[in-house]
Amino acid sequence: MIFDVPSDGPDAPKIEFPCLYPIKIIGFADVAFKDTVIEVVERHTGKIDAELINARPSKNNNYVSVTVTIAATGKEQLQQIFDDLKKVKSVKMVL
């Protein structure tokens, strides 16, 4: 699994908070995947406008990617979101 949280290293991009921050979540395509990952993210952000959510199936419909753009308030918030997404069994990657 890959979970890419912004780092503090010397080559890390500088992010100024608050900002709009896209999170891409990839996992097994099933009926509940999109709703499950949105629910996890919304625990930390509040309700997300449907226009800020985009879901795309893979070529063979085995996987789905859900991109959610949030109003990120800080690195701690992002870390909590990534940590909670790691606990979802159907999640394979978070970028």
Separation CA 17–CA 48 (nearest Å): 18
Query: The tokens of 69 are what?
Result: 């753009």
pLDDT digits (tens, 9 = 90+) for 23-69: 999 999 998 999 999 999 999 999 999 999 999 999 999 999 999 99
Neighbours of 83 (CB within 10 A): 14
Confidence band for 21, pLDDT divided at 50, 70 and 90: very high
Domains of the chain: 15-94 (3.30.70.260)
pTM: 0.84
Residue 95 reports pLDDT greater than 60? yes
Separation CA 38–CA 29 (nearest Å): 14
